A and B are shown apart, each in its own frame.
Chain A
């Protein structure tokens, strides 16, 4: 099946070349980071996690959202999703790959990463995160590959992958829950110490993931002969609508708890994010932008006319994706670390090498996704041509 990846037109190869050049540049920056140390980033003693871990947190959600296709199709036989479950699984593979790469990029001693396996520590949430992430990658590779392989041969998928498919459903929820548990069990970080963190992570994931899938399906319709179908796209948009509303509602709950109780320690992180604290407020414009984007997305998506029109739907999906990305990718990490446990305010701003390495890892994810989608679309176009 993989050989289909090599039959592409000029644009396809040009796109791959662009991605590989970006990756090449990022590799150089990463070698610089390996040589110098993590000091090339904007992280500090106070904000000891930054862009890399933020991207990992966001992408874990995108990966988990494959379950939003698998669950309706395999558990409830929602036929319209049948064509695109593989696309969701391939997004999951690309996203989890990026998660693992971001974690690796963030390690101070990456050559020692196997220590997490050699000295397995079940009371550490990072141990379980390693297990669930790799397990989810394994599940999606097995299921996606075999389902696509069966489709390419014109036969139904083999019976033995059914248990893996059913397992992938709670496993998807688990990858994001465990990632949330990294944060919400730390006694010294009041911004993260909330029971609603895991549910909120899931809600924003189920908004960002389907939004991305919708955009990818619309793109595929433009670039190839593959059509996901209006019903599938509309159902995804309804899922994204409810999920983004729930995400914003959860956030509103957190704001209420902090600001009505008026406990200074709880309010301070929100104050820093939305109004600045002690004269430092680099994230303020981003947080408000995120709110505007998410609310715009909601107001667009709840109007059926806007949702069914695929151009306006695309705009709403972009708004939701960027809005949730800022929320998780920028706000959550800095918000937790600032102010620090001794109530000092030291800000975090990513540096150029850090941003370049981040873009490089996103490029690797896009490369994986492009290659997998090329394979999937070739198979589906052939299957459609045959029938």
Chain B
């Protein structure tokens, strides 16, 4: 009879859909879950100039940063290079790197008698490219992922815009495209992608510049206030600074392992 066969068709269709949807999930468990899977486009070979590291990190010399205009230069270099839009509505603001005062960058470390040099110094804040990133833990699609060299990157094409990573970040480093950003980019740089509305973005440690042997943009224009290098390399600039000077990190007690060190 018509009713029964339509009903059985729907039942079978439902079971089939459930079964098809189950395959990727069982694939993940079958493969051991968190083991690396081979790239679908084959192995990508590295360029000849690429800078490699085991763990990229950055040291910010706060006193050097306080020199007039340095912080601003760093921010402008980054935002211009990466097509970061200048949104007019503050709620929709997108920033990869910006200035904060000490008691905002380090809430909890502040006290009434902070040294004047520190109290008024510009503190550059950005994504900390944590060793143990809570944003990567939270992302349901691995659109936010950690590379072998420690850089936390974003796949703008996979991001579903759920903003769970933004809730997970303890540092407020992430921005969301609440609307199409393209009309708000002053001068589009053709060699770096612009993003679409509905995806999250943040500092990428200039992975595209490291790939061709260049330093991150902010480091290049900082006049030595920013030092960038491989923590695993004893002779790197960052290790030299860390050996000789005391540095602080933002919210170290949370166990995220931030890789931006502030020499105060």
**Residue of B at shortest CB range from A126?**
B140
Question: Could you tell me if B179 and A124 are in contact, using CB atoms closer than 8 angstroms?
Answer: no
CA distance A242 to B74 in the complex (A): 58
Question: Could you tell me if A38 and B176 are in contact, using CB atoms closer than 8 angstroms?
Answer: yes
**Set A39, A106, A112, A187: member contacting B178, Cβ < 8 A:** A39
Judged by a CB distance under 8 angstroms, whether A118 is at the interface is yes
CA distance A122 to B29 in the complex (A): 9
Give chain A nearest CB distance to B154 CB in angstroms: 13
CA distance A110 to B168 in the complex (A): 20
CA distance A122 to B159 in the complex (A): 17
CA distance A341 to B103 in the complex (A): 11
**Residue of B at shortest CB range from A36?**
B179
CB-CB < 8 A to A46: which residues of B? 172
Question: Could you tell me if B161 and A108 are in contact, using CB atoms closer than 8 angstroms?
Answer: yes
Most buried by B among A116, A131, A189, A342: A342
CB-CB < 8 A to A336: which residues of B? 167
CB-CB < 8 A to A187: which residues of B? 134, 168, 170, 254-256
- How many A residues, CB 8 Å from partner? 50
Question: Could you tell me if B28 and A122 are in contact, using CB atoms closer than 8 angstroms?
Answer: yes
Give chain B nearest CB distance to A261 CB in angstroms: 14
Residues of chain B in range 183-234 having any CB-CB distance to chain A below 8 Å: 196-200
Residues of chain B in range 163-179 having any CB-CB distance to chain A below 8 Å: 163-164, 166-172, 175-179
Most buried by A among B176, B251, B254: B176
Give chain B nearest CB distance to A55 CB in angstroms: 15
CA distance A337 to B168 in the complex (A): 11
Judged by a CB distance under 8 angstroms, whether A186 is at the interface is yes
Question: Could you tell me if B25 and A342 are in contact, using CB atoms closer than 8 angstroms?
Answer: no
Most buried by A among B139, B179, B198, B199: B198
- Mark A36-75 against chain B: 1 for CB-CB distance below 8 A, else 0: 1111001111101100000000000000000000000000
Question: Could you tell me if A120 and B24 are in contact, using CB atoms closer than 8 angstroms?
Answer: yes
Give chain A nearest CB distance to B118 CB in angstroms: 16
- Mark A332-348 against chain B: 1 for CB-CB distance below 8 A, else 0: 00001100111110100
CB-CB < 8 A to A131: which residues of B? 25
**Residue of A at shortest CB range from B168?**
A186
**Residue of B at shortest CB range from A47?**
B91
Judged by a CB distance under 8 angstroms, whether A182 is at the interface is yes
CB-CB < 8 A to A38: which residues of B? 161, 176, 178-179, 197-198
Give chain A nearest CB distance to B193 CB in angstroms: 15
Question: Could you tell me if B108 and A265 are in contact, using CB atoms closer than 8 angstroms?
Answer: yes
CA distance A38 to B199 in the complex (A): 10
CA distance A45 to B139 in the complex (A): 17
- Mark B95-126 against chain A: 1 for CB-CB distance below 8 A, else 0: 00000100111011000000000000000010
Judged by a CB distance under 8 angstroms, whether A11 is at the interface is no
CB-CB < 8 A to B149: which residues of A? none
Question: Could you tell me if A45 and B255 are in contact, using CB atoms closer than 8 angstroms?
Answer: no
A37-B180, A188-B169, A342-B107 given; A124·B91 CB < 8 A: no
Question: Could you tell me if A106 and B177 are in contact, using CB atoms closer than 8 angstroms?
Answer: no
- Mark A240-279 against chain B: 1 for CB-CB distance below 8 A, else 0: 0000000000000000000000001100000000000000
Could you pull out 23 A-B pairs where Cβ atoms are within 8 angstroms? Answer: A37-B197, A37-B198, A38-B178, A38-B197, A39-B197, A45-B93, A49-B167, A107-B198, A108-B177, A112-B159, A117-B25, A122-B28, A122-B33, A186-B168, A187-B254, A188-B134, A188-B254, A189-B170, A264-B108, A336-B167, A343-B107, A346-B90, A346-B91
Q: Known A-B contacts: A116-B140, A122-B34, A188-B251. Give 7 more (CB < 8 A).
A: A39-B179, A108-B176, A115-B160, A119-B141, A127-B140, A188-B171, A189-B167
